[in-house]
Amino acid sequence: MAFVEVAWQRHIRLAMLLTGDRWRAEELLQDSLVKVYERWRRLSRLDDPHAYLRRALVNNHTSAWRRRRRESLVGEVPDRAAPSGDIGPDAVVLRAALMSLTAKQRAVVVLRHYEDLTEREVARVLGCSQGTVKSQNARALDKLRHLLDEPTYQVSR
């Protein structure tokens, strides 16, 4: 299926930014593509089936995050895989800072600034109001600025 090839290249980075891990990102994208495949007859008629896939990625990530959180609250330790070795030091620092955000803040930042969606589009993808997108984005950017200014997050050159 040609859509899968295009979608993989287009959305793997989004999945990696949401999850912070290459293997979880691939699993998240695969699961989301299965949902798209199950609804392909209807989705192929849409103007942008990639928008549906993007929303599926965010929703599946949120569901997985909630599951892991519930499991860790009852004593299981969530799996924390090491980041992929194919990225530079600046990307490692940014990934660590992104992972310090809440799941919703991270989704807002990634959709707003990486995917370059408008506040209205982000609100639609996340199923919340534009005001929530604005406030979550502001809080996240403040936290990222604070974290990235700390010496412990600086990359030594």
Indicate the SS3 state at residue 108: helix
Domain positions in the chain:
1-86, 88-157
Among 14-18, 32-36, 59-63, 82-86, the least confident range: 82-86
Rounded to an integer, what distance in angstroms lies between the CA atom of residue 128 and that of residue 144? 22
Residue type, 151: P
Predicted confidence at residue 120, as pLDDT, reads 94
CATH class for the domain made up of 88-157: mainly alpha
Say how far apart CA 87 and CA 119 lie, in whole Å: 29
Give the pLDDT band of residue 151 (cuts 50, 70, 90): low
